[in-house]
């Protein structure tokens, strides 16, 4: 039985979440609270296995609360946040603080949304319960300073003007925001170009990419249709759309398309990996990292069959070992490596 506490300033949201989770016999809501102050008092009596947490609340905001909890007693947390640009920025801070997953609720029709998406909420709670929140502690990265602090930038960059015949494709889900904050800041500007699918809702991927861009030597951006994959650049698939790699002569670019859910996801790692298998084959490195489910397992096998080098993150460093485990089970993984070793593998492949 997974014991859940719901912390949300909306009485309607608290009530509806309690109602919908009663349909799932393995989940029990042990308490609700209208703000973090009440929640802290209640948690001293009985500590939940999983928190379902809003981020904008009175008296104490959800991010401050989450940081306190992760320092005091790391607890798997699912963020339940409104799908707005402001909410996206705040929720990214919550992920940085250690949240495991995001459920986006609309500003209007919240009750109907929650009742119609109870399976998604339950799945996020189960994934959180299966995670290891201590692995979500993000190492501190110093703010990136560019050469602008010393002199003005040149009008053109030869490094970014070059093309590459080697690319890296990464698929990641639960725990991936923290994992990518370990991998990408460790890469030099000479690293091969990357195409990344991180399971994340629409609007959140841009905030996530912008945040990573401030931390990294390489350029990190939310992918737009037709963007080129270049050395020193990482393209992150936009939430709610699939991303595929295409080859044009000696250059690689991405195609961003609509379409149905694939492996229950959009963007899907399987879609990305299959496109890389078809367009790049032996000129690509595929990496599957922490996440729940099996998205990417089949696509990684297709990449390996096409001659790509393939890696999986090891169980010890994963928040959830589901996706790497399934890829290994499908026979598509050449090597299994720890999170800290992934940047060096990417750099070595680029050479």
82 in active site: no
> Residue 256 and residue 234: Cα distance in Å, rounded?
15
330 in active site: no
> Residue 347 and residue 168: Cα distance in Å, rounded?
10
Q: Can you list the positions of beta strands (E) in the chain?
A: 2-7, 27-33, 50-53, 77-82, 101-105, 167-172, 193-198, 219-222, 233-236, 242-248, 251-257, 284-288, 309-313, 335-337
Among residues 34, 131, 199, 279, the one annotated as catalytic is 199
Place of tokens 């991998």: 183
Among residues 34, 81, 173, 263, the one annotated as catalytic is 173
Query: Which token pair is 16?
Result: 């509806």
Place of tokens 């050449």: 334
> Residue 76 and residue 205: Cα distance in Å, rounded?
21
Q: Do the Cβ atoms of 66 and 53 come closer than 8 Å? A: yes
Among residues 35, 54, 295, 314, the one annotated as catalytic is 295
Spell 151-165 as b/e; 16+ CB within 10 A means b: eeeeeeeeeeeeebe
Return the closest-CA partner of residue 197 out of 266, 94, 128: 266
> Residue 115 and residue 100: Cα distance in Å, rounded?
22
173 in active site: yes
Which residues fall within 8 angstroms of residue 91, CB to CB, at 6 or more apart?
55, 79, 81, 99, 102, 204, 207
> Residue 258 and residue 124: Cα distance in Å, rounded?
24
Residues labelled as active-site residues: 173, 199, 295
């Amino acid at each position: 039985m997974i014991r859940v506490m719901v912390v949300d300033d909306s009485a309607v949201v608290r009530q509806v979440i309690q109602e919908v989770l009663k349909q799932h016999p393995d989940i029990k809501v042990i308490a609700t609270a209208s703000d973090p102050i009440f929640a802290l008092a209640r948690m001293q009596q009985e500590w939940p296995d999983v928190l379902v947490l809003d981020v904008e609340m009175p008296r104490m905001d959800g991010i401050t609360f989450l940081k306190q909890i992760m320092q005091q007693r790391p607890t798997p947390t699912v963020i339940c946040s409104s799908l707005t640009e402001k909410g996206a920025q705040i929720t990214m801070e919550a992920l940085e603080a250690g949240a495991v997953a995001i459920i986006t609720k609309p500003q209007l029709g919240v009750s109907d949304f929650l009742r119609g998406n109870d399976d998604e909420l339950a799945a996020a709670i189960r994934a959180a319960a299966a995670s290891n929140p201590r692995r979500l502690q993000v190492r501190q990265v110093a703010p990136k300073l560019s050469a602008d602090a010393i002199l003005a930038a040149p009008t053109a960059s030869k490094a970014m003007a070059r093309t590459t015949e080697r690319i890296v494709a990464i698929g990641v889900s639960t725990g991936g925001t923290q994992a990518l904050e370990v991998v990408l800041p460790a890469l030099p500007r000479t690293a091969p170009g990357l195409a990344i699918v991180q399971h994340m809702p629409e609007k959140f991927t841009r905030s996530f990419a912008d945040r990573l861009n401030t931390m990294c030597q390489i350029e990190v951006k939310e992918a737009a249709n037709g963007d080129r994959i270049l050395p020193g650049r990482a393209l992150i698939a936009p939430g709610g759309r699939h991303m595929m790699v295409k080859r044009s002569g000696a250059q690689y670019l991405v195609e961003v398309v609509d379409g149905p859910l694939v492996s229950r996801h959009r963007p899907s790692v399987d879609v990305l990996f299959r496109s890389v298998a078809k367009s790049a084959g032996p000129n690509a490195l595929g990496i599957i990292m922490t996440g729940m489910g099996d998205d990417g397992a089949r696509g990684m096998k297709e990449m390996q069959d096409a001659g790509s080098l393939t890696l999986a993150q090891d169980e010890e460093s994963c928040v959830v070992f589901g996706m790497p485990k399934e890829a290994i089970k499908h026979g598509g993984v050449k090597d299994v490596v720890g999170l800290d070793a992934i940047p060096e593998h990417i750099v070595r492949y680029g050479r």
